[in-house]
Structure 1
Amino acid sequence: MLLEAAGVAFEIVSSAVDEEEIKRSLRGAGADAASAADALALAKARRVSQRYPGALVVGADQILECGGQWFDKPADMDHARAHLVALRGRTHVLATGVCVVRDGERLWHERARPALTMREFSDRFLDHYLALEGTAVLSSVGAYRLEGPGAQLFAAIAGDHFSILGLPLLPLLDFLRQHGVLER
């Protein structure tokens, strides 16, 4: 969505990497969420790069971390509610990594760590929010969409807006300009 809105031509290709296994392994080795997001982005880009020789392949990933706990996308509405209850009144970080790979070699990477503080909200508001958003919250690691009614969940946000949405866009666009993909 972000690349399309910025006017960048691209193709979406599934990497089919086992994200859960990679996260489990990294977590067991003591990696932090930012390092894990970087490793996942790189694993995805390298896997796709094998199928597209010579192509610039962008890989990205994002892990929500709050109080040492990593959150995945909620499996269902009950999990979405539990995520939001766990995040209510607390600050969490969206550890976001992006890289560009060509022929398996990482050419560039960027990391962002925006911090978001949820306000204290009532259970009644939470129920209303979940009813309003429905299953759309299942596509977001934090069970919210900041670009929609999820903005009402927050008291403060620090960091790059594009990174919060999942991609440090401005540094990526700069890399693409430097490599002739986009006009300078």
Structure 2
Amino acid sequence: MPLVLASTSRYRRELLQRLALPFECARPEVDETPLSGEAPLDLAVRLAAAKAADVAARHPGAWVIGSDQVADLEGRPLGKPGTVDAACAQLAAMAGRTVRFHTALNLTRNGESFAALDLTEVRFRHLDAAEIARYVAAEQPLDCAGSFKCEGLGISLFEAIDSRDPTALVGLPLIALCGLLRRAGFRVP
């Protein structure tokens, strides 16, 4: 069965490669701007479904994986910082706090759809401005929600990570995805 990842994220692509299933990637054309008053969880669910639907419309007959992750700091969504200054500001705001990461999955084909959610909570340790600046300079996490890469040096910023799936924080919860793929008829492993 054809499988398409509705993403150009190298992080999601690398995670999906772990499952040893043939797939291709396609860029979803979706406006990721939060709706007025939209909660972080609702934003993640809406965007995962929209990404899958957009790419599925261009790949009839293929199963399409849509995924989105939204960092939630006390009910406020945090996006990808894009700049060094924004990354430093995000990390300063999260220092000493717990941030929730909502990761939504949607697997779609010809109007049929399966969905899953993952919640990961990250407890940041207290960070000073010099630590934050050194980290951002070292890893340049400008394309990552929450301004860190937990699979790299970003792990040094935390007191704890509470999650059912260690891949969820990177952006594609493989445990949940395997369940959706099996429901769709894929043989994993």
Q: What TM-score results when the alignment is normalised by the length of structure 1?
A: 0.89
Q: Which of the two has greater helix per residue?
A: 1
Partner residue of 1:80 out of 87, 101, 124: 87
Aligned residue among 120, 140, 146 for 2:144: 140
The answer to whether the 8 A contact 2:19-2:188 is kept is no
Instruction: Provide Cα deviations, 1:7-34, integer angstroms capped at 9, x if missing partner.
Output: 12211101111111xx2x2xx2x43211
Unpaired segments ≥5 residues, structure 1? none
Identity %: 33
- 1:120 is the counterpart of 2:126: yes
Partners of 2:125 and 2:133 in 1: CA distance? 15
Say whether the 8 Å CA contact 2:48–2:68 is kept in structure 1.
Answer: yes
1:82 to partner: Cα distance:
0.5
Q: Answer yes or no: is 1:161 the counterpart of 2:166.
A: yes
Query: Could you tell me how far apart the structure 2 residues matched to 1:39 and 1:73 are?
Result: 17
Identify which of 24, 28, 45 aligns with 1:15: 28
Alpha-carbon contact 2:182-2:188 (below 8 Å) kept = yes
What is the root-mean-square deviation in Å for CA atoms of aligned residues? 1.4
On the 8 A contact 2:40/2:76 being kept in 1, the answer is no
Asked if structure 1 preserves the Cα contact closer than 8 Å seen for 2:39 and 2:77, the reply is: no
> Given the two structures, how large is their TM-score scaled by the length of structure 2?
0.87
Q: How many matched pairs?
A: 175
Q: Give the CA deviation at 1:64.
A: 0.4
1:131 has 2:144 as partner: no
Mind listing any 5+ residue stretches in structure 2 that lack a counterpart? 1-13
Deviation at 1:183, TM superposition (A): 4.6
**Residue identity in the other structure for 2:154:** G
Among residues 95, 101, 108, which one is paired with 1:94 in the alignment?
Answer: 101
